[in-house]
């Protein structure tokens, strides 16, 4: 099978709603959420043996009509009975340490790295998202936020390598490797070799996510990302 998937951006993305996140919290409370990774990353015991450890509350920012709405969500943590490892389970809309949803991060990062002419500022201005926590609060997402998102995705080296390996095992004759090798970024988008590496790493991860969706009808997040330690 040849890789042909086009990256999603803008209106192509299906952002989670406030109700989606509230329903996830309800399922956590009712004990309806089961472990999503297949085994413990430390001792390889099946996740069927995991014990519920505790829950944590996380705050998420959800764009609704270009205004940020704040919603709280419960995240479940499991304990491996064999090695006592604690594993925080992320739903399919969450990234570690990020208040914006995964879909928001992927969308904005794709808009930046896939367009040679884009800047951090131009991407933010394409679809201005503001805050409305208090009256007369005119703050907006800052371009430095997008800069950090790109760096976060670009650092997920283990996830990229694992996804690449699984894709090749599934279809050795695919053009994924050849396609990834052609991905680059304009020199004006970076000032150091380190930043260049992060930008290319981010772009490769986005294309691996698209290929994974095409081949396996599943996302890299959260299961494979959790198994890779979000690294």
Q: Determine the pLDDT at residue 4.
A: 55
Q: Determine the pLDDT at residue 8.
A: 62
Sequence ranges of the domains in the chain: 18-89, 100-227
pLDDT in tens, 69-79: 889 999 999 99
Whether 9 has a pLDDT exceeding 80, the answer reads no
Phi then psi dihedrals of residue 92, to 5 deg: -75, 5
% of the chain beyond a pLDDT of 90: 70
Q: Determine the pLDDT at residue 173.
A: 75
Q: Do 213 and 176 form a contact (C-beta atoms < 8 A)?
A: no
Q: What is the mean pLDDT of residues 100-116?
A: 94
pTM: 0.89
Length of the chain: 231
Q: Determine the pLDDT at residue 183.
A: 93
pLDDT in tens, 176-207: 888 899 999 999 999 999 999 999 999 999 99
Distance of CA 114 to the CA centre of its chain: 17
Looking at per-residue pLDDT, the higher value among 157 and 174 belongs to 157
Q: Determine the pLDDT at residue 11.
A: 56
Both tokens assigned to 2: 């040849």
Whether 66 has a pLDDT exceeding 60, the answer reads yes
Assign 174 a pLDDT band (cuts: 50, 70, 90).
confident
Q: Do 209 and 220 form a contact (C-beta atoms < 8 A)?
A: yes
CA separation for the pair 128, 144 (Å, rounded): 14
Q: Determine the pLDDT at residue 227.
A: 87
Whether 122 has a pLDDT exceeding 80, the answer reads yes
pLDDT in tens, 128-159: 666 655 545 555 678 899 999 999 999 999 99
């Amino acid at each position: 099978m040849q890789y042909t998937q086009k990256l999603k951006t803008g209106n192509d993305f299906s952002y989670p709603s406030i109700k989606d996140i509230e329903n996830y919290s309800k399922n956590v409370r009712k004990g309806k959420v089961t472990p999503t990774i297949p085994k413990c990353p430390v001792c390889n015991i099946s996740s069927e043996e995991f014990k519920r450890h505790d829950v944590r509350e996380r705050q998420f920012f959800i764009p609704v009509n270009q205004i940020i709405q704040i919603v709280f969500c419960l995240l479940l943590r499991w304990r491996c009975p064999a090695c006592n490892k604690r594993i925080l389970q992320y739903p399919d809309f969450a990234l570690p340490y990020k208040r914006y949803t995964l879909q928001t991060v992927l969308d904005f990062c794709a808009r930046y790295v896939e367009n040679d002419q884009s800047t951090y500022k131009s991407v933010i201005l394409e679809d201005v998202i503001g805050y409305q926590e208090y009256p007369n609060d005119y703050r907006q997402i800052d371009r430095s936020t997008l800069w950090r998102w790109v760096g976060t995705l670009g650092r997920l080296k283990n996830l990229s390598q694992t996804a690449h390996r699984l894709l090749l095992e599934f279809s050795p004759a695919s053009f994924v490797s050849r396609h990834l090798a052609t991905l680059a970024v304009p020199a004006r988008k970076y000032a150091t070799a380190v930043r260049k590496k992060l930008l290319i790493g981010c772009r490769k991860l986005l294309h691996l996510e698209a290929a994974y969706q095409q081949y396996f009808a599943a996302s890299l997040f959260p299961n494979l990302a959790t198994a890779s330690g979000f690294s």
